[in-house]
Amino acid sequence: MDQPLILQPTQSADACVIWLHGLGADRYDFMPVAEALQQRLPSTRFVLPQAPTRAVTINGGYAMPSWYDILAMSPARAINREQLEASTQQIIQLIEAQRDSGINPARIILAGFSQGGAVVLHTAFLRWNGPLGGVLALSTYAPTFSAELQLPADKQQLPVYCLHGRFDDVVLPAMGRAAHDYLLSQGVPVTWQDYPMSHEVLSEEIQDIGTWLATVLR
């Protein structure tokens, strides 16, 4: 496993954002975003992990950085659950490493774009046993959420910010909205924000994320 990219803050770290890239990208993808956000959050460390390179079925078996294989796109995305769980364990190890370095887990934020967002939603709500500061879900979906699944009471306190492009043709807005609506139905303090964009990130969105992080980590 490649080591994550770690951006240390200018002040002593008292919070951390663990930010996962999307399919086919790498740990440097969100480095400029993290650097911009650190200007507003001078005591927040950013940890940008790297997905393993593996064959992706929907892309003709071409090998690329991927948190899990996507086997089919419809009717609902069929994914390799074993690989998802392995990626989840990778993120849990990063949370534990930050905790062991002195960061209160209640001040650790999980963030992810697209496929990375699916991993952090799964990790935060279904696998991590303990407090967290919140979840940033960018242009993503939740393949492991289901209406039959009841979240425990401690998970119903975890703030989530869902951000999506109205013209996203990779992860359709309805997929992101379904994840939001499930969390809302469970009593989770979740916020939805969309933008006039496709499957990407806008500067306005980064400003909104900075405001949300500053509020959650105040």
Catalytic center residues = 114, 168, 199
Phi-psi domain of 130 (left: phi exceeds 0; alpha: psi -120 through 50; beta: other): left
- Taking the CA atoms of 123, 124, 127 and 130 in sequence, report the sign of the dihedral they define: positive
Which residues, listed in sequence order, are joined to residue 5 by a DSSP beta bridge?
48
Alpha helices in the chain (DSSP H): 31-40, 81-100, 115-122, 173-185, 203-216
- Token pair listed for 36: 């911009």
Burial class of residue 194 in the structure, from the number of CB atoms within 10 Å of its CB (0-12 exposed, 13-18 middle, 19+ buried): middle
Give CA separation, 87 vs 62, 68, 84, 168, 213, in Å: 19, 7, 5, 25, 24
Phi-psi domain of 59 (left: phi exceeds 0; alpha: psi -120 through 50; beta: other): alpha
Residue linked to tokens 């496929």: 115
CB-side exposure of 151: number of CA atoms within 13 Å? 26
